[in-house]
Amino acid sequence: AQSVAQPEDQVNVAEGNPLTVKCTYSVSGNPYLFWYVQYPNRGLQFLLKYITGDNLVKGSYGFEAEFNKSQTSFHLKKPSALVSDSALYFCVERGATNKLIFGTGTLLAVQP
Amino acid sequence: DTGVSQDPRHKITKRGQNVTFRCDPISEHNRLYWYRQTLGQGPEFLTYFQNEAQLEKSRLLSDRFSAERPKGSFSTLEIQRTEQGDSAMYLCASRIQVGEQYFGPGTRLTVT
């Protein structure tokens, strides 16, 4: 079965430092991958997606993700973290009929 | 605000009662999805509509659950004879033919 793995339950980073949230995927062939963010008391928000093309995908709020086929990874990155980036981040894979398959989420905590 | 609305935002019910949730997708979106998110987990797919046709149901959707999308616009999700294990956040998402899914704020169900 398709799945995505987020090995870190929580990532702590100081404001201004670069951040990375890790994700690995399972589907063979050409995966269709997303990152979504969930802020407290707000709905899930789309950040970025990878379909084909450049391995570095740019998204909202200064986030980007690097697709690595040989490592089956799709890590989320940002050069300089903000306190307001603190939220729950989900790596997501597209399944059949375009339903989304979510990872377990990584809580990002950015300290001032 | 993604443009997808859900009602109610919170529902507290006693075990054994029936509940119904409503989702209003973005108007031009013909695909609609329901997901369930329990504490500490990523959302899990429940069911999918293309226009008014329900095209896929997860095994998570027991016989007590039913979903409809009359006229291909809003959708309802009904849970009959609620159980404590049904307590979760129920999320609705919509998309056009090609594109990412936009999520509503969710309905938080608490079964006492």
Number of CB pairs < 8 Å for A and B? Answer: 53
Q: What is the DSSP letter of A81?
A: -
Q: How far is B17 from chain A (nearest CA, A)?
A: 26
Handedness of CA A51, A52, A53, A55 (dihedral sign): positive
Q: Does A95 touch chain B (CB under 8 A)?
A: yes
Residue A43: what pLDDT? 82
What backbone phi and psi angles, to 5 degrees, belong to A99? -65, 155
Please give the C-alpha separations between residue A84 and each of A112, B25, B62, in angstroms, as whole numbers.
Answer: 10, 28, 39
pLDDT, tens digit, for every residue of A60-111?
A: 999 999 999 999 999 999 999 999 999 999 999 998 878 899 999 999 999 9
Rounded CA-CA distance A50/B26 in Å is: 23
Reported confidence tier of residue B96, pLDDT bands at 50, 70, 90: confident
Find the angle CA(B8)-CA(B11)-CA(B15) to the nearest 5 degrees: 145
Q: Does B5 touch chain A (CB under 8 A)?
A: no
Residue A96: what pLDDT? 80
Q: How far is A15 from chain B (nearest CA, A)?
A: 25
- Interface with chain B: mutation pick from A2, A100, A102, A106, highest number of B CBs within 10 Å: A100
Rounded CA-CA distance B21/A3 in Å is: 28
Q: Does A98 touch chain B (CB under 8 A)?
A: yes
Nearest by Cα to A32 from A93, A74, A90, A75: A93
Reported confidence tier of residue B112, pLDDT bands at 50, 70, 90: very high
pLDDT, tens digit, for every residue of B11-41?
A: 999 999 999 999 999 988 999 999 999 988 9
Q: Does B57 touch chain A (CB under 8 A)?
A: no
pLDDT, tens digit, for every residue of A13-43?
A: 999 999 999 999 987 778 899 999 998 877 8
pLDDT, tens digit, for every residue of B36-90?
A: 999 889 999 999 999 999 999 998 888 999 999 998 899 999 999 999 999 999 9
